[in-house]
Structure 1
Amino acid sequence: MVQAEQAGSAVWTVPNVVSMVRLALVPVFGVLIFSGQDVWALVVLAVSGASDWLDGYLARRLDQVTRLGQMLDPAADRLFILVTLIGLTWRDVVPLWVVVAVVARDVMLACLMPTLARLGYGTLEVSFVGKAGTFALLYAFPLLLLAERSGTLGDVALVTGWAFTWWGIGLYWWAGLQYVAQTRRLTLADRERREGVS
């Protein structure tokens, strides 16, 4: 689905403020993870994950779904994923191909934006599969950080973290291909409509 037409245009709503705080935490998290302060990085990541659920819940509960919120939420998720992956790659916790796999999918979606804009649509609504992929990746990161510790906790975190990583990447790409198919359907429908008028 394309973003809902009935979404409001307000800026300073409670869910939007929560999303803005989460965006503000991205550079804080980046500094923490690059400087090796893993405990505080995990705290910030946990707060971010909780706020990701909270802003969506509040938007629905308070009837404050806005177009800005629909953009801020996935933007904050993608920034956290990108900054975390770069930090973990820089520290040799994850290989470079993980970053490439995630970024390539987002580049693919960015290439859809001119087509959607030409058709008069906004951004595509985040799908359940896409949200599940994002959650899986965000769960994977603290586990991969914990995997740096020695002992049983580190071993369990390593296996679980990589399981979430693989699931996350798979779901992330599955959702991406769904968005491509959706854009194609919108393009074909627009073409049929114009041919019907002419």
Structure 2
Amino acid sequence: MGLLSADNHTPRPSSQPDGGPDAPNLARPVTDLADPNPERRWEAALSARGEPTGVDAVLARLPVEPDLAVRQALFDALAATGGPVAARGLVDLLRSEDAHLRNEAIAALAELPDDVPDLIDTMLTADDPDVRIFTVNVLRDLRHPQTTAWLTRVIAEDTHPNVVGTALDHALELADPAMAPAALAARTRFADDPYVAFVCGLLLDRIEGSAS
């Protein structure tokens, strides 16, 4: 079975909506997130940065916001504010049918190293394998001390070859010797999957090479 490629998120632009003012009004109330004018919504999103009381409104606006610049500002506000409510809301967006929302949710979650770890266990056991794949992508960019342990767990235990294949891809960057038993187990577990077998071989070779 071939690996389903995960979404690739793109860097967040800092541009404002077309026709935006040179000097944004940084005191817009959160209620302006629903304003018909995208410039005012963008300014309201900027005003929401670092404001925990605005997190619910920002999360509610994201799925219905049509302007990409405003969306970016909303995601930036969540990443700048953080907290468990923001993190849980971003995790919920991993189930969205909108690829842009998923990609930017992955990027924003990776900027919340203090809030995301408490959710990783739940994310890695989600029923939807796509959510588990996106979680592995969050781990790639989270740069957390537990990243190796989490990836090793996925490789050793996950039942979906695409999830394991994604974890193996990221494990290649680490090539931690502790991953070797998990890679051997995955190669046995998915003996009929040529991609998993191939990446397991690459990982084991890289681990062996780093030890010599």
TM-score range, shorter chain: 0.3 to 0.5
Higher relative contact order (CA 8 A, sep 6+): 1
Q: With structure 2 as the length reference, what TM-score do the two structures score?
A: 0.30
Q: From the two aligned structures, give the one with the greater helix fraction.
A: 1
